[in-house]
Amino acid sequence: MSLFSAVEMAPRDPILGLNEQFNADPNPKKVNLGVGVYFDDNGKLPLLQCVQAAEKALMDKPSARGYLPIDGIAAYDSAVKALVFGADSAVVQEGRVATVQAIGGTGGLKIGADFLKKLNPQARVLISDPSWENHRALFTNAGFEVGSYRYYDAATRSVNFDGMLADLRAAAPGTIVVLHACCHNPTGYDLTPAQWDQVIAAVQERQLVPFLDMAYQGFGNGIQEDGAVIGKFVATGMNLFVSTSFSKSFSLYGERVGALSVVARDKEEAARVLSQLKIVVRTNYSNPPTHGGAVVAKVLNDPELRAQWEQELGEMRVRIKAMRSKLVDGLKAAGVQQDMSFITDQIGMFSYSGLSKAQMDRLKSEFGVYGTDTGRLCVAALNSKNIDYVCASIAQVM
- Residue 396 CA to residue 388 CA, distance in Å, equals 12
128/352 Cα distance (integer angstroms): 15
What is the DSSP track for 365-377? HHH-EE--TT-EE
Site string for ligand PMP, 217-246 (x = CB under 6 A): ----------------------------x-
Residues 107-166 that bind ligand PMP (CB under 6 A): 132
Residue 155, C-beta contacts closer than 8 angstroms, at least 6 positions apart:
none
* Closer to ligand PMP by Cβ: residue 34 or 36: 36
Candidate residues 160, 185, 187, 353; the one interacting with ligand PMP per rule CB under 6 A: 185
Total interface residues for ligand PMP by CB under 6 A? 12
Nearer to ligand PMP, 107 or 330 (CB): 107
Q: In whole angstroms, give the CA distance from residue 124 to residue 132.
A: 18
List, by residue number, the catalytic residues. Answer: 132, 213, 248
Residue 346 within binding range of ligand PMP, rule CB under 6 A: no
Binding part of the chain for ligand PMP, among 100-108, 203-211, 231-239, 299-307 by CB under 6 A, reads 100-108
Cβ burial of 302 (10 Å; 0-12, 13-18, 19+) is middle
245 or 383: CB nearest ligand PMP: 245
292 binds ligand PMP (CB under 6 A): no
Q: Please tell me the distance from the alpha carbon of residue 138 to that of residue 141, in angstroms, as a whole number.
A: 5
How, if at all, do strands 209-214 and 240-245 pair? parallel
Residue among 70, 116, 215, 327 that touches ligand PMP (CB under 6 A): 215
Least separation in angstroms between residue 334's CB and ligand PMP is: 29
Q: Any contact of residue 105 with ligand PMP (CB under 6 A)? A: yes
Site string for ligand PMP, 355-394 (x = CB under 6 A): ----------------------------------------
Quote the CA–CA distance of 114 and 116 in Å, as a whole number. Answer: 5
Q: What angle do CA 370, 376, 381 make, to 5 degrees?
A: 60
Distance CA 43, CA 384 (A): 9
Instruction: Give the nearest distance from C-beta 132 to ligand PMP in angstroms.
Output: 4
Rounded-to-integer distance, Cα 185 and Cα 376, Å: 9
Smallest separation (angstroms) from ligand PMP to the CB of 52:
20
Question: What is the pairing mode between strands 145-150 and 124-129?
Answer: parallel
From the list 1-9, 17-25, 54-62, 99-107, the region that binds ligand PMP by CB under 6 A is 99-107
Binding region for ligand PMP (CB under 6 A) out of 104-112, 298-306, 308-316, 366-374: 104-112
Which residue of 71, 114, 213, 226 would you call a contact of ligand PMP, by CB under 6 A?
213
Other C-beta atoms lying within 10 Å of the C-beta of residue 201: 14
Residue 335, number of CB atoms within 10 A of its CB: 11
Residues that bind ligand PMP in the complex, under the rule CB under 6 A: 36, 104-106, 132, 180, 185, 213, 215, 245, 247, 258
